[in-house]
Amino acid sequence: MHIDPLEKKWIYVVILITVVMVGSLAYAAVMVNMHPPSNVETIDSKKLHLTEEFAEDNLGVETNPDGSLTVRMVAARYSFYPQEIEVPVDTDVTFRLASFDVLHGVHVPFSNMSTMVVPGYVSQVTTRFSRPGEGQFLCNEYCGLGHDYMWSRLKVVPKGQ
Ligand code: CUA
């Protein structure tokens, strides 16, 4: 079979790109322990307010015995509740989110905090914020006419405040 030399060159380029990409994925997964958020935990979205974990009084920031934080939030058209979260810088924060109605997404720009919030499931992401400042939780899954306005506030404050 005849393969044009130029075509041959591009076949090698494509093989090289594929090897580099698959290699970097494997490296991130195995050596850096970096995985997409995966947490299969179901919940009855219609009864969120009656559950212990996502009842209104229980939402927000909670400090764990080891010093890390757990933040519980509810995504509902068209906001995340509570509407303001304050966390210290350089601290492990585990976000636990549940949707009250339809599919939402949550994303904090310039961080790796990003996940879908699927009704019927609890989404969980652990991250840490390395710089103090103000940020937003933005919805990144179209959830209705108010989708563009679905956001809430994140404050990352210096430690000890
Ligand atoms: Cu919630 Cu888009």
Looking at residue 45, what is its pLDDT?
83
Ligand 1: distance of its center to the CA of 97 in Å?
Answer: 13
Strands 69-76 and 93-99: parallel
Q: Please list every protein residue whose CB sits less than 6 Å from any atom of ligand 1.
A: 104, 139, 141-143, 147, 150
Predicted local distance difference test score (pLDDT) of residue 37: 66
Residue 55: the pLDDT is: 87
Q: Which atom of ligand 1 is nearest to the CA of 143?
A: 2
Residues 50-75 as b/e (b if ≥16 CB within 10 A, e otherwise) read eeeebeeeebeeeeeeeeebbbbbbb
User: What's the pLDDT at 57?
Assistant: 86
- Distance from Cα 3 to the centre of ligand 1, integer Å: 51
Q: What is the pLDDT along the chain (161 residues), one digit of tens a residue?
A: 888 999 999 999 999 999 999 999 999 889 887 777 666 788 888 888 888 888 888 899 999 999 899 999 999 999 999 999 999 999 999 999 999 999 999 999 988 899 999 999 999 999 999 999 999 999 999 999 999 999 999 999 998 77
Is the pTM higher than 0.85? The answer reads: no
| The ligand 1 atom nearest the CA atom of 144 | 2
CA–centroid distance, residue 71 to ligand 1 (Å)? 19
Residue 81 CA, ligand 1 centroid: distance in Å? 13
How deeply is 134 buried, as exposed, middle or buried, from its count of CB atoms within 10 A (0-12, 13-18, 19+)? exposed
List the residue whose alpha carbon is closest to atom 1 of ligand 1: 104
